[in-house]
Amino acid sequence: MKKPVALVLAIVLALGAIVFAQHNKSATPSVQVTLPASDHTVTVFAASSMTGSLTELAKSFEASHAGVHIELSFGSSSTFAQQINNGAPAQVFASASVKAMTDAGARMKNVQSFMSNQVVVAKPSTKYVEIKTAAQLLNDPRITWIQCAHEAPCGAAADKALKVAGVTSTPKSLEPDVKSVLAKLLAGEVDAAIVYHTDVVAHQELSEIAFADSASATTVYQIGEVDGADSIATEFIAYLLGPDGQAAFSAAGFNLVVPQ
């Protein structure tokens, strides 16, 4: 009779152990796993004249903001303005003119002017060294030269500066943006070109002839958030307008004093 009792007792104890183990297992706190944040992209449309300085600033911003990617698109401000007005998914627009920013329409928020640039006559450093004025060089029938299309900020500024300077000759071609103008000049396809002062600063093989009337040759850069931009886009703009951004733009040849 003792064996059945002992057997029953053993079974009861075994069942109790299983229940206790299961209770302890359910009471064990779960391990919290923090997954890495997904990549966050800020899309920026910017004037092609900002390519060098803005690319370096974007890399610097990314390095201090884990998981953030600044996607830069460079081109004509007037083209970007049209695209933004038509709903293009940008978050930040950096324009080379007030007009282009205005043309971007009601989607632009918190717009501010932050620097300026000047168009100049650029030429190879070793050529035409005795020529001192834009009219003297460009009105020479032996000289071929180009500029930006009239609707682009660099073209609009060129049109004003050339008129005041008394240039009566016409460009060989009108290019979509200053990057295209610069490429043809560097390739030796033309003798001279109207580009920005910052373009000459970036290329030691070029020299410039400044327009005597600097006001007519100046264009003001503006930056703003596109409607729907998030806090990271706002932070990136603040970075560009802060000490690091201002130092980079100044080193590139931009004028941080905005004409009133």
Structure confidence at residue 101 (pLDDT): 98
208 φ, ψ to 5°?
Answer: -130, 155
Which residues lie below 8 Å from residue 193, measured CB to CB, with a gap of 6+? Answer: 121, 122, 123, 145, 146, 147, 181, 182, 184, 185
- pLDDT (0 to 100) of residue 180: 97
Same fold across 40-116+220-251 and 118-217: yes
Q: Indicate the CATH number for domain 40-116+220-251.
A: 3.40.190.10
Model pLDDT, residue 260: 76
* CA–CA gap between residue 81 and residue 105 (Å, rounded): 8
Please check whether residue 23 is in contact with residue 71, taking contact to mean a CB–CB distance below 8 angstroms.
Answer: no
Quick one: how many helices (H) and strands (E) in the chain?
11, 9
Quick check: 18 pLDDT over 50? Answer: no
pLDDT tens string 178-210: 999 999 999 999 999 999 999 999 999 999 999
Considering the entire predicted model, what is its pTM?
A: 0.84
User: d(Cα 180, Cα 93) in Å, to the nearest integer?
Assistant: 20
- Would you state the structure tokens that stand for residue 202, as one six-digit string? 């970036």
Whether the predicted pLDDT of 17 surpasses 80 = no
Domain residue ranges in the chain: 40-116+220-251, 118-217
CA atoms within 13 A on the CB side of 25: 6
> What's the pLDDT band for 39 if we cut at 50, 70, 90?
confident
Report the candidate in 197, 214, 220 with the shortest Cα–Cα distance to residue 99.
Answer: 220
Average pLDDT, the chain: 89
CATH fold label, 118-217: D-Maltodextrin-Binding Protein; domain 2 (3.40.190)
Residue 3 has pLDDT above 90, yes or no: no
Per-residue pLDDT at 76 exceeds 50:
yes
Total Cβ atoms within 10 A of residue 145:
24
- Report the C-alpha gap between 36 and 61 in whole angstroms: 19
- pLDDT score, position 40: 93
